Chains A and B, each alone.
Chain A
Amino acid sequence: EPALIFDLGGKFDKSFNEAAHNGASRWAEQTGKTYREIELQSEAQREQALRRFAEAGLNPIITMGFAMADPLAAVAGDYPDTKFVAVDVNWLDAPNVRQIGFAEHEGSYLVGMMAAMASKTGTVGFIGGMDIPLIRHFGCGYAQGAKAVNPDINIVANMTGTTPSAWNDPVKGSELTKAQISQGADVIYAAAGGTGVGVLQTAADEGILSIGVDSNQNHLHPGKVLTSMLKRVDVAVYDAMKAGEDLQTGVFAMGLAEEGVGVAMDEYNAELVTEEMSSAVADARSDIINGNVTVVSYYENDSCPALQF
């Protein structure tokens, strides 16, 4: 029986954790099997949950978020027969851990391009949640994509805050959206968990476009959400559960090539995406895959060429 450990945001964060939840549910539905899950509520529980699940014989144990890296490093060695999956981690030295790193910057690059092409004002916005490197990583890719389309584009970037409530403050998200609109932004990319709900809502209310994140959020406001930057956590989780105990370990990159990240195209945004846009995105995608274009990763670079934080 597999186990799934959600990060502090909780399984219904409408983005990252929820995607994992979706993948797991899909697996459970299709196979009729069950899995265990826990929503962490404190730092100390990270290691606790890992050990408890491992001792209960659950296998594989899937963890969400970079913050699990440290506890995993401490625990994995104690349970060599258990396989672990670490989503958003790719730097551990542990033989029984499958580490999955997503190339969020590449996906963000594509939505950045779309934003720049959809923008009439020449200003696009980015709203992050808590100011942590991961979110800068999103923003950085986005900015590069936008600049690739229009080097003179103006990018307004804001973070919601510095406390965990930054992930759950749609009201502030909404105000930031209004602020960016008044600075001329007419497409806004939200990478802010529950706060993003407020961003998408206000963008729809104010008649501008927004871009969702992690899960496909296009349906939230049909015709108002330009696209969503998909991070196929659901696929990663689904695959891990499907592989079960035979899971391959090691470091896996989930970039554009692996379809680990991408842009969401469906009936809700079909009207918004022009021919020109989809072909540009398709070209850029293949360019990135075959190495003609490199998107700088904030993680690796520790700073961003296209945007100042």
Chain B
Amino acid sequence: MDIFVTLIQVLDSTIRLATPLLLACLAGLYSERAGIFDIGLEGKMLMAAFFSAAVAAVTGSVWLGLLAGIASSLVLSGLHGLASITFRGNQLISGVAINFLASGLTVLIAQSWFKQGGRTPSLFGGGRFESAEFPYAIGPEDAELTGQPVSELMSDANSIHMVYSELLSGHSILVYVAFLMVPLTWWVLFRTRFGLRLRAVGENPAAVDTAGVSVVGLRFAAVAICGVLCGIAGAYLATALQAGFVKEMTAGRGFIALAALIFAKWRPWHAMWACLLFGLLQAIALRFQNIDLGGVVIPVQAMDALPYILTVVILAGFVGKAVPPRAGGEPYVKER
């Protein structure tokens, strides 16, 4: 039972850690499927994290915060689109620039706005996303009623009830949004006209163009969706997982999401599994530091590096060659 409890908790942590990765990964998926490479996921998330927290702090409404986060991420998306679609610039450079821009601007604005050293004030009450408690799930309310801590109630419950309460219930609404985005993305990409065109424009924009569809329009649409999803990811970090913005709080998650995207070979369901895997590896590494193997203590640094080492191993061992969308990274130029 004890192992089972730990397992459930690790998986619970996995879900929380995977959510921002998943949102960013799906964001990248839309963009890259349309042929626009995006290494600026990190920057967009960071910008959204800041603006969602800032607006939530000022207005006290997390929903307004979410909107602001999405809007700010969309502005950066627009910039990326302008550079890489309209002016056919180098998509990698544009992404790098956006990461720098977000990392500088968030702190700069936060400082001149709140004077708390590039941080937003802590959020509370309506300024944060509360976790959604499912009916009959064990949650803080039960804890208050019985006077026992949640963890104790949890370990007393039967396993199904525990899985239900710990794993399924009790996450922020954005977590459910993220996971619902997976089938939705799959459906949009493979079952709708928009998806067909989107995938086509990432493979061969000339085919889309000569079929009478606007390449520029499609690509901007994709980049915009990417902006929205990055916005949600950032808002999740700052207003659901945390209660406010701290500088550089995305801490490289945009790059991990990018890795997951390549890992998933640009497919929605695979993206979910890849992000869950990354989340799981992190959750494990966080929970089991200083493992003692009969006298030999594995140094904490090794556990810290474990998710990354395992990623490389899995990549080398099982994933094989990932072929990106064929027109990816190349601006669509008709007249040379």
Given a CB threshold of 8 Å, the question of whether A touches B is answered with yes
On A, residues with C-beta under 8 Å from B are 10-14, 18, 131, 157-159, 161-162, 165, 168-172, 174-176, 178-179, 181-184, 186, 194, 197-198, 201, 206-208, 220, 308-309
- Contact segment of B76-84, B208-216, B243-251: B243-251
Determine if B244 and A179 form an interchain contact, defined as CB atoms under 8 angstroms apart: no
- Contact segment of B60-68, B115-123, B266-274, B310-318: B115-123
13 intermolecular pairs with C-beta atoms under 8 Å apart: A158-B286, A161-B304, A165-B251, A168-B248, A169-B249, A170-B242, A170-B246, A174-B242, A179-B286, A179-B287, A194-B246, A208-B149, A308-B292
On B, residues with C-beta under 8 Å from A are 5-6, 9, 12-13, 16-17, 20, 116-119, 122, 140, 143, 149-151, 237, 241-244, 246-249, 251-252, 282-283, 286-287, 289-290, 292, 297, 300-301, 304-305
Determine if B122 and A175 form an interchain contact, defined as CB atoms under 8 angstroms apart: no
Determine if A197 and B300 form an interchain contact, defined as CB atoms under 8 angstroms apart: no
Determine if B140 and A172 form an interchain contact, defined as CB atoms under 8 angstroms apart: no
Tell me, in angstroms, the Cα distance from A206 to B139 when the chains sit together.
10
CB distance from B28 to the nearest CB of A (A): 19
Chain B residues lying within 8 Å of A206, measured Cβ to Cβ, are: 150
Tell me, in angstroms, the Cα distance from A182 to B4 when the chains sit together.
12
Tell me, in angstroms, the Cα distance from A172 to B250 when the chains sit together.
10
Chain B residues lying within 8 Å of A170, measured Cβ to Cβ, are: 242, 246, 249
CB distance from B291 to the nearest CB of A (A): 11
Chain A residues lying within 8 Å of B122, measured Cβ to Cβ, are: 197, 201, 220
5 additional contacts, CB 8 Å, given A18-B117, A157-B290, A194-B246? A12-B116, A131-B301, A168-B246, A179-B13, A197-B119
Determine if A308 and B297 form an interchain contact, defined as CB atoms under 8 angstroms apart: yes
Determine if A168 and B247 form an interchain contact, defined as CB atoms under 8 angstroms apart: yes
**Which residue of the partner chain, among A13, A18, A175, contacts B17 with CB atoms under 8 Å?**
A175
Tell me, in angstroms, the Cα distance from A87 to B249 when the chains sit together.
28
Tell me, in angstroms, the Cα distance from A308 to B296 when the chains sit together.
12
CB distance from B174 to the nearest CB of A (A): 13
Determine if B304 and A159 form an interchain contact, defined as CB atoms under 8 angstroms apart: yes
CB distance from B41 to the nearest CB of A (A): 16
Chain B residues lying within 8 Å of A174, measured Cβ to Cβ, are: 241-242
CB distance from A212 to the nearest CB of B (A): 13
Determine if A165 and B252 form an interchain contact, defined as CB atoms under 8 angstroms apart: yes
CB distance from A62 to the nearest CB of B (A): 18
Tell me, in angstroms, the Cα distance from A245 to B20 when the chains sit together.
52
Nearest B residue to A21, CB-CB: B117
Nearest B residue to A193, CB-CB: B246
Chain A residues lying within 8 Å of B9, measured Cβ to Cβ, are: 178-179, 182
**Which residue of the partner chain, among A169, A178, A186, A308, contacts B13 with CB atoms under 8 Å?**
A178
Tell me, in angstroms, the Cα distance from A252 to B327 when the chains sit together.
65
Nearest A residue to B166, CB-CB: A182
Chain A residues lying within 8 Å of B297, measured Cβ to Cβ, are: 308
Determine if A172 and B251 form an interchain contact, defined as CB atoms under 8 angstroms apart: yes
Tell me, in angstroms, the Cα distance from A191 to B17 when the chains sit together.
22
Chain B residues lying within 8 Å of A10, measured Cβ to Cβ, are: 117-118, 247
Which one of A11, A18, A207 has the greatest number of beta carbons of chain B within 10 Å? A207
Determine if A176 and B286 form an interchain contact, defined as CB atoms under 8 angstroms apart: yes
Which one of B248, B252, B283 has the greatest number of beta carbons of chain A within 10 Å? B248
Chain B residues lying within 8 Å of A12, measured Cβ to Cβ, are: 116-119
Chain A residues lying within 8 Å of B243, measured Cβ to Cβ, are: 201
